Each structure stands twice: as C-alpha cells, then as structure tokens.
C-alpha cells in the first residue's frame, strides 16, 4: 500500500521513475560477479602456463590476457561500488561527515594515484599478493568517480519526494530501496562509466610491477593485456603490440555498446521530470 501511495504521488507531481530498482541492480552487481566467476575459472585453467611465454603468445593467449585484466577490473569495480555508495549516503545524511570527508576525498582524487603506487606495491609484495597491488590501485582510481557522482545525485532529490516518504512512513531499508536507489541510479551508472574509463587507463601501468620495484627484485609483471602492451612496445614487437591494442579496443567498444549504452538509456527512466 505504501509503495502504491508513493507511485501515485510521483505521477501527481509529474515526477517519473520506477521505484522497483532492487529488481534491476543485477545489471551492475550480479552480472559482473557471474562474469568474474567465469573469468577466474578460465584463467585458473589456462593462465599459469602462459605467464612466462610472452615471446610465443598466440591470439588465444592475448584473449586470455584480456580476461585476466578484465577480472582485475571487475573485482576493483565491485569493491568500489560497495564502498562508494555507503560513503556517499553518509556524506549526504551527516553534515559533520560532509565537512570532513568531502574535502578529504577531493584532495585524494586530485593527487596522482601513481604517486602512491611504489609504496602500495612494496606492501603487497611483502605478502606475495601481487594481484592485490593492481586491484588496490584500480579501486582507489575508480571509487572517487562513483562517490562524487552519487553525492551529486542525492543532493538533487526533490524535497517533495522526501516529504512524501515521511508522510507514508517509508523509512529505513524501504526508503533506501524505494526512494534513494531509484533517485541515484542514473548517477551510479554515470559514475561507473567514468570509473571504468579510469580503470582502463590505469591498468596499462598497474600490471607492470617491475617498473616500480627496486633494482634486483625478482617479482615479474602481472599477466594481462596492459603488461602485454608495455612489454611488446619495449621489446619492439610491433605485431604483438598492435594485435593486443586491437583486441583491447574492440573489447572496450563492445562493453560500451552492449552494456554501458544500454544502462545509460535505461537510467533515463529514473530521472526526475
């Protein structure tokens, strides 16, 4: 009954967006997790035998490297999403948190992320968790775009909607599900798109660990499309470089066309009119 009242109120105020957003979030969380499981299965099955064979990589090996990179991006994105949304809600709801966290996050976003990378790598190398270094640097690259985008979305929720939720006693998780999530869904999509763009830019160097380690370190680069691009360029293997670049560009274009453009179009349904 409460949800019907909210729906009626939205129509009366000429504000149009669906409120059953909890049924749609699979496109941002569940599908990436399922893809991640598949990617890990493939990489674990075929990947290890290819790590030390860069000189004889085939097209299939390049695709496997792309999957390894994609798995790191998926992990980082899901973690960024899980951390960013609660932080954005906290900033929106708590004035003290807004005064402290918003300037702090703005400073952290402005500092070049690669400035921290050598220290981050040394920390994760100490625990022999090499993928963790790449995932962590991707996480802090992706997270700020989502945080600031969602904060902006929460600030434009009409006061009439908030008052209607109070009138019909829509509080707690129901308020988050029926009001907040539909309101910020377009901003989550926009922030996610920017986060992925930043992730693809950083992955090129995040997988090349030896560049940031002291001379004589035995740690090798992570197997992925970014390290293939760097190593093939450094060794003068133009065929491998251009083939790896072509595979990555095509893959990014397909993600943009089949996922992000669809989500952007779908998110239009959640905007206030």
**What distance in Å separates the CA atoms of residue 50 and residue 64, rounded to the nearest whole number?**
9
Tokens, residue 167:
């009138």
> Helix, strand, or coil here: 130?
helix
**What distance in Å separates the CA atoms of residue 186 and residue 264, rounded to the nearest whole number?**
7
The pLDDT of residue 51 is 42
Q: What is the dihedral of CA 270, 181, 110, 113, to 10 degrees?
A: -110
The residue among 51, 65, 35 whose CA lies nearest residue 219 is 51
Enter the pTM of the model. Answer: 0.77
The residue among 37, 28, 75 whose CA lies nearest residue 206 is 75
The residue among 138, 139, 126, 131 whose CA lies nearest residue 223 is 131
The pLDDT of residue 197 is 92
The pLDDT of residue 273 is 58
Ranges of residues in the chain with a pLDDT under 70 are 1-57, 214-219, 272-273
The pLDDT of residue 3 is 47
Tokens, residue 27:
């496109």
DSSP 172-218: HHHHIIIIIHHHHHHHHHHHHHHHHHHHHHHHHHHT-GGGGS-TT--
In the block, residue with structure tokens 């377009």: 186
Cα angle vertex 120, ends 115, 123, to 5°?
A: 150
The pLDDT of residue 41 is 58
The pLDDT of residue 78 is 92
In CATH, the architecture of 2-46+59-270 is Orthogonal Bundle (1.10)
Count the Cβ atoms, other than its own, within 10 Å of residue 3: 14
Report pLDDT digits (tens) over 235-259: 888 888 888 888 888 888 888 888 8
The pLDDT of residue 244 is 87
The pLDDT of residue 174 is 76
**What distance in Å separates the CA atoms of residue 87 and residue 148, rounded to the nearest whole number?**
10
The pLDDT of residue 153 is 87
**What distance in Å separates the CA atoms of residue 202 and residue 206, rounded to the nearest whole number?**
6
The pLDDT of residue 46 is 45
């Amino acid at each position: 009954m409460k949800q019907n009242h909210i729906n009626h109120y939205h129509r009366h105020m000429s504000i149009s967006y669906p409120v059953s957003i909890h049924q749609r979030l699979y496109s941002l969380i569940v599908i990436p997790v399922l893809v991640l499981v598949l990617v890990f299965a493939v990489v674990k099955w075929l990947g290890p035998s290819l790590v030390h064979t860069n000189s004889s990589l085939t097209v299939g090996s390049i695709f496997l490297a792309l999957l390894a990179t994609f798995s790191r991006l998926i992990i980082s994105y899901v973690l960024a999403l899980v951390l960013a949304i609660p932080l954005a809600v906290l900033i929106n709801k708590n004035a003290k948190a807004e005064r402290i966290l918003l300037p702090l996050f703005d400073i952290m976003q402005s500092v070049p992320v690669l400035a921290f990378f050598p220290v981050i790598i040394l920390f994760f190398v100490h625990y022999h968790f090499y993928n963790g270094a790449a995932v962590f640097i991707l996480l802090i690259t992706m997270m700020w775009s989502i945080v600031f985008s969602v904060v902006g979305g929460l600030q434009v929720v009409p006061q009439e909607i908030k008052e209607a939720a109070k009138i019909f006693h829509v509080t707690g998780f129901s308020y988050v599900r029926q009001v907040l999530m539909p309101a910020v869904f377009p901003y989550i999509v926009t922030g996610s798109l920017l986060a992925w763009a930043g992730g693809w830019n950083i992955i090129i160097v995040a997988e090349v660990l030896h560049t940031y380690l002291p001379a004589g370190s035995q740690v090798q680069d992570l197997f992925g499309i970014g390290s293939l691009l760097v190593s093939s360029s450094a060794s003068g293997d133009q065929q491998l470089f251009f083939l790896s670049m072509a595979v990555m560009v095509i893959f990014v274009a397909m993600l943009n066309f089949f996922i992000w453009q669809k989500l952007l179009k779908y998110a239009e349904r959640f905007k206030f009119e």
